[in-house]
Structure 1
Amino acid sequence: MAGERKHALVVRGGWSGHEPVAASDRYAAELARRGWSVEVSETLDSYLDAEALARTDLVVQCWTMGGISAAQAAGLSGAVRAGTGLAGWHGGIVDSFREETGYQLLIGGQFVHHPREFTRYQVRPTAAGREHPALAGEEPFTVTTEQYYLHVDPAVLVLADTVFTDDPDVPELAGTVVPVVWARTWGAGRVFVSTLGHRPADLELPEVDRLTRRGLLWAAR
């Protein structure tokens, strides 16, 4: 109905090293400032409530590793297919539920490796990214943080990429171009994934914060 407030569901938990509370609070507050109603959940059973998900415009997931049941994954996938948006960053979305391939199909990728130390690398908007609402107008920028190497669905739309560093542990990967940010559609829904945001300080970088905020808004119903 016209004039209704948009509703976001923030689902957070898993490994505490990515500070899911602090990181997700940042964007819950941003959505609230925009007039959204925001609900925070610390259980994946939220993905079993089809009626609630149908009323949700955007799921913001911040849940690193852990396990998800087939029913929970199917509930999330079905909600996105019906039009609920899904977005997240770093391990909270792309290093989640490693054993559930249905979830990986939905997200469009899976973290598999990063160098032991933080890496200084350039994030480069692609031609598609420069025309996408999440990155339009952005120039290449440099970050110093974890650099993710991923297995990625060839069907996703890569919005930004990087050249993988020369990692002495896995020298075979050096020079590979890997995605940093991507988007996809899933039925009637949209999915936005950024690999940036290992720590809250990463999300405070103007370029990272901007693309994250814009990506969340793009993904919303």
Structure 2
Amino acid sequence: MHEPVACTELFLPRLRDRGFTVEVAETLEVYDDRTALARADLILQCWTAGRITAEQEENVVDRVRAGAGFAGWHGGVVATFHEARRYQYMVGGRFLCHPGGLIDHRVDITGDHPVVHGIGSFRVHTEQYYCHTDPTLEVLATTTFSGEHGEPETAGVVMPVVWLRRFGAGRVFVSTLGHAPADLALPEVDTITERGLLWAADMPGAGRDH
């Protein structure tokens, strides 16, 4: 489905309520604008597939390394710009497949980071993302693959679902959940996503502290 406007509108009003000035760009040309990037405390990306130019990639990666937050979910961050190695390195993971399509599976919370504090494991009916991920990530939630749906080699694989990454002076928040607005509206996913955006922006409100 991937409904970028409907999905981002679940969270943009809350960022405004927190005092953010929200600027919406509908093309990747915003990544050509170093002035616009320089004033961004948080870059919330929702862009599946597509191509990013070398200059656009350099600009956004450099801005995050210099201190901007970068955040997003699902295909909007990990199923995009596959040829952009610096971008993939910054995000810390890339989508490969989702065996079975929309399936029932469990998301397990790991640890007690403020972004997931007070949230227990929960069930979802959505795509179970199989990704290649960086070993340095701070993983907040995982899912375990069954090996069904024609991919037996995935049996028992514990895959990151939500993660954080420090990148230079910047912060990166990624959740692989969010195929449709209904997925993001689940109470657990809603809370994790809102806290993750605030954590990436280095703002209070990401759980007990920031």
Tell me which interval the TM-score lies in, with the shorter structure as reference length.
over 0.9
Gaps of 5+ in 1: 1-16
Gaps of 5+ in 2: 203-210
Partner of 1:186: 167
Which aligned pairs between 1:84-103 and structure 2 lie closer than 5 A? 84-103=68-87
Partner of 1:174: 155
Q: Which has the higher strand share?
A: 1
d(CA) in 2 for partners of 1:141, 1:207: 8
Letter in 1 for 2:16: A
TM, length-normalised to structure 1: 0.88
The answer (yes or no) to whether the contact 2:137–2:163 under 8 Å persists in 1 is yes
Which aligned pairs between 1:3-22 and structure 2 lie closer than 5 A? 17-22=1-6
The answer (yes or no) to whether the contact 1:180–1:194 under 8 Å persists in 2 is yes
Partner of 1:218: 199
The answer (yes or no) to whether the contact 2:100–2:149 under 8 Å persists in 1 is no
Letter in 1 for 2:122: F
Q: Which runs of 4+ in 1 moved over 6 A?
A: none
SS, match of residue 23 in structure 2: strand
What is the number of equivalent residue pairs in this alignment? Answer: 202
d(CA) in 1 for partners of 2:138, 2:57: 22
Which aligned pairs between 1:76-115 and structure 2 lie closer than 5 A? 76-115=60-99
TM, length-normalised to structure 2: 0.93
Partner of 2:179: 198
The answer (yes or no) to whether the contact 1:123–1:142 under 8 Å persists in 2 is yes
The structural deviation recorded for 1:168 is: 2.9
Which aligned pairs between 1:22-37 and structure 2 lie closer than 5 A? 22-37=6-21
Q: Deviations over 1:43-90 (max 9, x none)?
A: 112112222212111010000011111111111100001101000000
d(CA) in 2 for partners of 1:99, 1:142: 33
Partner of 2:206: none
Letter in 2 for 1:215: G
Change beyond 3 A, Cα 1:137–1:48: same
d(CA) in 2 for partners of 1:155, 1:50: 28
